[in-house]
Structure 1
Amino acid sequence: MFFIICVVLLLCYFYMRPTVTVTRSPSCLVGKTAVVTGANSGIGYQTALNLASRGCKIIMADLTDMEKSKLDIIEFTNNPNIFAKHLDLSSLKSVREFASEIWKSEDKLDILINNAGIGASEKNRTADGLHPVMQINYFGHFLLTHLLMGLLKKSAAGRIVFMSSVFAFTNNLSLKKLNFDREKPNCFDRQFVYGNSKLSMIMAADTFAEKLKGTGVTVNSVHPGLVKTPIFTKTYAVYQNVFFQMFIWLSQCVFGRDPWEGSQGLVHAAVSRELKNETGKFFGDYAPRRKPLKAYNKQLCKDIWNASEIYVGLTPEERL
């Protein structure tokens, strides 16, 4: 049986791999500035590298030391305008400090890539009282986008891209479960939390898009497909479930893309001239895709948005 499964997966591999697409947008980004979260590795690093190769000023935002990654991008692209700034999305205080630094150093912001994320967490709460997966993947980006909105509006055509996932379809999101709380979550609970965070990103992108109509700022969400990044290795360590690990490993072998391939959708959404006026869309391989059903529930989206404002501590002046 195992042999048959391997043969089927191998056939699927050779059938599906050629479908990977690459952005062909020739857009030059000289004079533009981009913030990329989770830029030290994986999709975030490849996205920063691609934007830098187009002449864009890059502000790499991550929790870990980015000095080597920064120097590598400078060397590969011959673009000296690459800067690394500390950002811990699991801390609302860190998000505010990061945004404050950006306001001091930049006159405008052209591109915001909300990419950073984790797959699972051993802890159930951060110091802010939020679930770590929800805070890093969603709440932190929700707050960051609000705090940088003034700079994005100063751009001639600001773009915000939220990283989502096909796992957004595996969710049990409700207002009550927005900030998941269970002392001993199982692997299914953790999967739902991850899916909830990615669905929340789609909802946030759609609501931002609606609220920002007429400002020149566009907002879209993207799913990159299944990408082989460190997020899976770290998730394995938390789940400690052999069958789950084997399933994900086999799926990666068959359908997995490398980080460079996975970054192409984010880059396309951020730079393509064809998408200049597109907003509130959910893209996969450059084409608008059907969203999870709950993303079309306007009342739920409104409730999630209002609750999120409270969870991240937005002041009346910071709200849109």
Structure 2
Amino acid sequence: MKTILIAGGNSGIGLQAARNLLVHGHQLVLLGRDPRKGEAALASFGTVSDRASFVTADLSTHGGVRDAARRVLAQHDRIDALVHTTGVFTFEESRTADGLHPFFAVNYLSRYHLTQLLLPALRQAGRPVVLMMTAAIPPTDETDFARFPEFTPFAFGRDRKPIQLANHHYAAHLTRAEPGLAAGVVNAGSAKTDIMRIAPWYMRAGMKILGPLVLDSVDTSAHNVVEAVRHDDWHTPSYWDKPGRFEQRTPIALNAVTTQHLMDASRTLTGA
């Protein structure tokens, strides 16, 4: 039985991945911002809910990440897999308490920060796994990181790609820095989840009309995460581009100088 932590596991794709992993007999720790959703998620597990727990966490701030890591480490000295499915979807210019844009803080930096803080527990596993869920962003060096990490003012069309792509660089960094650890990035696909509630009205309207024709099921979007946690024979670091197709993956090969630059900036921001 593996102990698996899913950040964002109280809703959407993370919750579906949790359900599927519980079926396979694993122990789950879910992180989420809303305790009511956390309680509802645990209740939905039925007779296997005793193998799941929930930790309330605000992963949009440095303090919230540190508090979550402290509470998880107080309860678990070994974590076999850490899955990041948290995400925000916003076009607006706004800042967290740390002066960062929420899209950057949640969709990349909190993943780096939380993983770094949980490395002592991950190192206790035989082959620890770290997975990060993003939009469809293949690994490429053709990206401008000049605005990283401030992204001021935030412009979704310009800044989305480097923020999401930073997850690929972190997967590459983990593979080099942590022998025996497997890291990967998973395309979330286009499943209809709660993240769309803050999308512009025209996107919500389009999804309502075209959704039945173009959207993946939540189970399909969760498939590659579940399989990557369960199997130990995939190459690290890897990127899964096609939801539901675990065997179809691409090695992450990126410029090491750029990776180090992003990791140095992330360490400066978080202290981790």
Moved more, 124-133 or 168-177: 168-177
Matched, 1:68 2:45: no
State the TM-score, normalizing by the size of structure 2. Answer: 0.89
CA–CA distance in structure 2, aligned partners of residues 120 and 152 of structure 1: 32
Are positions 1:288 and 2:249 aligned together? Answer: yes
- Rounded Cα–Cα distance in structure 2 between residues aligned with 1:86 and 1:196: 29
Question: 2:267: which partner in 1?
Answer: 309
The letter for the 1-side match of 2:105 is: Q
Q: 2:152 aligned with 1:192, yes or no? A: no
> Aligned-pair distance for 1:109?
0.5
Give the alignment of 1:95-106 within 5 angstroms.
95-106=65-76
> What is the RMSD of the two structures over their aligned residues, measured on CA atoms?
2.3
Task: Supply the distance in 2 between the matched residues of 1:290 and 1:208 (Cα, whole angstroms).
Answer: 14
Say if 1:120 and 1:40 are closer, same or farther in 2 by CA, change over 3 A.
Answer: same
Give the superposition deviation at 1:234: 1.6
- Kindly indicate whether residue 190 of structure 2 is the aligned counterpart of residue 229 of structure 1: no
- Matching of residues 1-320 of structure 1 within 5 Å: 30=1, 32-65=2-35, 66-73=38-45, 75=46, 78-120=48-90, 122-167=92-137, 173-182=144-153, 189-213=155-179, 216-236=180-200, 240=201, 242=202, 252-275=211-234, 278-284=235-241, 285-286=245-246, 287-289=248-250, 296-314=254-272
Match of 1:25 in 2: none
State the SS of the aligned residue for 1:166: coil
Query: What is the deviation of 1:158?
Result: 1.1
Q: In the aligned structure 2, how far is the partner of 1:55 from the partner of 1:71?
A: 17
Structure 2 residue matching 1:80: 3-state secondary structure: helix
SS of the equivalent of 2:233 reads helix
Partner residue in 2 for 1:22: none
- The one-letter amino acid of 1:198's match is Q
Shift of 1:233: 2.5
User: What's the TM-score, normalizing by structure 1?
Assistant: 0.76
Q: Which shifted more, 90-99 or 281-290?
A: 281-290
Structure 2: give runs of 5+ residues left out of the alignment.
none
Aligned partner letter, 2:65: V
Task: Say if 2:139 and 2:254, in contact at 8 Å, map to a contact too.
Answer: no
Give the Å deviation of 1:123: 4.5
% identical equivalent positions = 23
Distance (Å, rounded) in 2 between the aligned partners of 1:89 and 1:193: 20
How far residue 167 of structure 1 moved from its aligned partner, in angstroms, is 4.3
**What is the DSSP-based 3-state SS (H/G/I as helix, E as strand, rest coil) of the residue aligned with 1:296?**
coil
Whole-angstrom distance in 2 between the partners of 1:197 and 1:253:
29
**Structure 1 residue 204, shift from structure 2 partner:** 0.8
Instruction: Tell me: CA distance 1:221–1:78, structure 2 relative to 1, closer, same or farther (3 Å).
Output: same
SS in 2 for 1:206: helix
Structure 1 gaps of 5+ residues are: 1-29, 315-320
Q: Contact between 1:164 and 1:202, CA under 8 Å: does it hold in 2?
A: no
- In 2, Cα distance between equivalents of 1:136 and 1:233: 17
Distance 1:179 1:85 in 2: 29
Count of residues paired in the alignment: 265
- Give structure 1 regions of 4+ aligned residues with deviation exceeding 6 angstroms: none
Whole-Å Cα distance in 2 between the matches of residues 223 and 198 of structure 1?
A: 10
* Cα distance in 1 between the residues matched to 2:138 and 2:87: 13
Q: Report if the CA contact (8 A) 2:43-2:49 is conserved.
A: no
Partner secondary structure for residue 47 of structure 1: helix
Inter-partner Cα distance in structure 2 for 1:249 and 1:207 = 39
CA–CA distance in 1 between the matches of 2:85 and 2:68? 16
Task: Please give the alpha-carbon distance, in whole angstroms, between the structure 1 residues aligned to 2:8 and 2:191.
Answer: 15
C-alpha spacing 1:192/1:89, structure 2 compared with 1 (3 Å): farther
